[in-house]
Structure 1
Amino acid sequence: MKVQIKNSHPRRPLPSALIRKQAKAILNALGSHDAEISILVTDDGEISGLNKTYLGRTGPTNVIAFPMREGAFTNISPDLLGDVVISADTAAREAEAAGISIEERFTELLVHGILHLLGYDHERSESDEKEMEKKAQDVLRLLKGARGRQKSPVIQRQKQHQTDSAGAYKMAKLAVNVDHIATIRQARGVDYPDPVAAAVMAQLAGADGIVAHLREDRRHIQDKDVVRLRETAHRFILEMAATPEMEKIAVRIKPDLVTLVPEKRRELTTEGGLNLLRKKPGVFDTVSKLRGKGIEVSMFIDPDPLQVKKALEIGATAVEIHTGAFCDAPSPKKRQRELDRVREAAEVAHGLGLTVNAGHGLCYNTIQAMTTIKEIDEFSIGHSIVSRAALVGMDRAVRDMLCLIRGH
């Protein structure tokens, strides 16, 4: 993916890094992972000239797109989408009128322009206008991870679970793990199904975050996946072992959260939590380095108050409580015992000011018991959602899980 940026506006220099990040996120969300585009940020004077010369219209406009997929030579470079020109002057006026920042309005115009490059055209017909508007709103909602301004109705995000300053509880969040989308892909050595596309679908269905585990043996998620997921996910959680190699990757891509997990080469999936009570200088060093780079760190631990306290001592800002023993309990009595262990650990972690996440083995049959633990901020769920998605689609699978978590 290549994004070329030129900012020729003399007074409104928007950060090129921000523009490039947003452009890549938009292209990923639209499935154009190998695309090339050029973005020109200019003023009303220059865009007025382009508007007159190429469109026969007088005066400034907010955005003009010049698609390269039209005409006789489109097959020469199929990944070259074209150019988007945006007037920062007009964007600033429209932002002020709407009561939003110029950066937010610029992103809306960039989405609009890129959609034109991909063949969407709101001027062809009323149905084309509705299709383009819906697609734009879906992409903007994905980018913002929130509601945004809307002309047409789109699915609203539900309130999330955390404790506010008054101690009242809100509903828990859902982070969807896309590892096993990659497992299916790697089984055949092809380039599909794409975990990034699955992440986009999950977020459009209401997921609050995306999780991926980059393992040392690269059995499912690959390095390129985590780069693209970071660009696409409005909240990206990287699971990894505490190794120098993984530290470098995390520092480079800067996920919203790193969850440190144990790894064994022969395990099918992560078995048990980190035992922080044993001396693990590597874990402490990794936490220190990541926190020093401004990256939040969570510890994947068994439901044990001593492990929770050690996580805080080491410097973690969050814990993810391993729920596997609860999910695999062979009898109601043992399941209740394991639920009580998770509850106690969550209460201790919450009382210490740690963010409390939970995951491993949770499915549509076990999640509702976990929702009675109000200290849990977020559930991390992958295998059961991906399994259901194989039968009913990712959108339905995520929505069904959200209904169980949120009780409606």
Structure 2
Amino acid sequence: MNPLVAPEAGHRGSRTALSVNLNKVALLRNTRHLGIPSVTKAARLVLEAGAQGLTVHPRPDERHIRAQDVRDLAELLKDWPQVEYNIEGNPFHNLMDVIREIRPHQATFVPDSVGQFTSDHGWTFPADLERLAPVVAETKALGVRVSLFMDPIPEMMRAAREVGADRVELYTEAYASAWGTPRQAAELARYRAAAEAALAAGLEINAGHDLNRDNLADFLREVPGVQEVSIGHALVADALELGYTETIRDYQRCIQRAFAPR
């Protein structure tokens, strides 16, 4: 393990783990041919600051994370055995080849199209049941945990469990858009109901999309059982101003506030 790691790095306890999505670091790097900023250096810095996981979403066009990045991060994480590696994407595009090669801790299946700007909806059942079942089964046979990207619809949670998923990642854009408005309480109630349905079905819960330092604590305080949040765009934007170390520590303070006694 890296001797420079912060004391809290990798420590999960009973709190939600922070997984850093590195896609936007790769996107900036890809605008030039200089290799900067370095995805692996960014990974090392966020881990030393206390992040408990890394997330990448390699798309077929490699417009941000490239296949070599996925391999380089897997190699880096050999020195960080306590850190979880989450690889997300559409299992019907390029993702399964990546999963078979890397065998990360977690695969998050996302129903996005090849040219989609960003993920914007979850799987639906029974429409997606038949085609998802074989890839979920194969991924689990490889020893990889499966998480399904889902909208906060309580009645979908049991079906996600029946298809073989271990977790769901709640797509949080609707909450993020409503935060600080009169709609916030109603949106939180939807996510709380979805989380309760997931837990009742035997699923664990992740969350992600447009979570940030402003809205994260409120979400975690109200939505039960969130094991992990995956944050990329806002976190990298914050790091441009604050640096990686202070940004990670501030997100960890947000998580700590969510679990502090009122």
399 and 326 in structure 1: CA distance in 2 versus 1, 3 angstrom threshold: same
* Aligned position for 2:28: 184
Matching residue within 12, 36, 39 for 1:160:
12
Matching residue within 215, 218, 227 for 1:366:
215
CA separation in 1, counterparts of 2:8 and 2:115?
Answer: 42
330 and 347 in structure 1: CA distance in 2 versus 1, 3 angstrom threshold: closer
* Aligned position for 2:171: 322
Please identify the structure whose Cα radius of gyration is greater: 1
* Aligned position for 1:295: 144
The code of the aligned residue for 1:184 comes to L
2:182 partner SS: helix
C-alpha displacement of 1:258: 0.2
Task: Tell me if the contact between 1:176 and 1:381 (Cα under 8 Å) persists in the aligned partners.
Answer: yes
Q: Which has the higher contact order (CA 8 A, sep 6+)?
A: 2
Residues 1:282 and 2:135 are matched in the alignment:
no
Q: Provide the aligned length of Structure 1 versus Structure 2.
A: 252
Deviations along 1:85-137, one digit per CA (max 9) or x if unpaired, are xxxxxxxxxxxxxxxxxxxxxxx7xxxxxxxxxxxxxxxxxxxxxxxxxxx51
Matching residue within 196, 199, 218 for 2:40:
196
* Aligned position for 2:72: 228
211 and 330 in structure 1: CA distance in 2 versus 1, 3 angstrom threshold: closer
Task: Tell me if the contact between 2:169 and 2:208 (Cα under 8 Å) persists in the aligned partners.
Answer: yes
* Aligned position for 2:239: 389
* Aligned position for 2:17: 173
Residues 1:137 and 2:14 are matched in the alignment:
no
Query: TM-score, with normalisation over the residues of structure 1?
Result: 0.59
Residues 1:207 and 2:59 are matched in the alignment:
no
C-alpha displacement of 1:406: 0.8
CA separation in 2, counterparts of 1:301 and 1:267?
Answer: 17
Query: Runs of 5+ in structure 1 lacking a partner?
Result: 1-107, 109-135, 142-153, 162-169
C-alpha displacement of 1:280: 4.8
CA separation in 2, counterparts of 1:210 and 1:397?
Answer: 15
CA separation in 2, counterparts of 1:262 and 1:288?
Answer: 17
Task: Tell me if the contact between 1:300 and 1:321 (Cα under 8 Å) persists in the aligned partners.
Answer: yes
Task: Tell me if the contact between 1:325 and 1:338 (Cα under 8 Å) persists in the aligned partners.
Answer: yes
The code of the aligned residue for 1:300 comes to F
CA separation in 1, counterparts of 2:110 and 2:240?
Answer: 27
Query: TM-score, with normalisation over the residues of structure 2?
Result: 0.89
C-alpha displacement of 1:265: 3.7
330 and 366 in structure 1: CA distance in 2 versus 1, 3 angstrom threshold: closer
CA separation in 2, counterparts of 1:342 and 1:189?
Answer: 42
Query: Runs of 5+ in structure 2 lacking a partner?
Result: 78-82
Please tell me the root mean square deviation across aligned C-alpha atoms, in Å: 1.9
2:229 partner SS: strand
* Aligned position for 2:153: 304
157 and 193 in structure 1: CA distance in 2 versus 1, 3 angstrom threshold: closer
362 and 282 in structure 1: CA distance in 2 versus 1, 3 angstrom threshold: same
Alignment of 1:31-110 (within 5 A): none
C-alpha displacement of 1:375: 1.2
2:35 partner SS: coil
C-alpha displacement of 1:352: 2.4
Matching residue within 266, 269, 277 for 2:118:
269
1:262 partner SS: coil
Percent identical pairs in the alignment equals 29
Moved more, 279-288 or 234-243: 279-288
The code of the aligned residue for 2:256 comes to R
217 and 276 in structure 1: CA distance in 2 versus 1, 3 angstrom threshold: farther
Task: Tell me if the contact between 1:371 and 1:405 (Cα under 8 Å) persists in the aligned partners.
Answer: yes
Deviations along 1:134-168, one digit per CA (max 9) or x if unpaired, are xx512xx5xxxxxxxxxxxx52347525xxxxxxx
Moved more, 257-266 or 310-319: 257-266
C-alpha displacement of 1:305: 1.4
The code of the aligned residue for 1:137 comes to P
387 and 369 in structure 1: CA distance in 2 versus 1, 3 angstrom threshold: same
Moved more, 300-309 or 239-248: 239-248
Task: Tell me if the contact between 2:87 and 2:107 (Cα under 8 Å) persists in the aligned partners.
Answer: yes
Task: Tell me if the contact between 1:243 and 1:282 (Cα under 8 Å) persists in the aligned partners.
Answer: no
Task: Tell me if the contact between 1:159 and 1:171 (Cα under 8 Å) persists in the aligned partners.
Answer: no
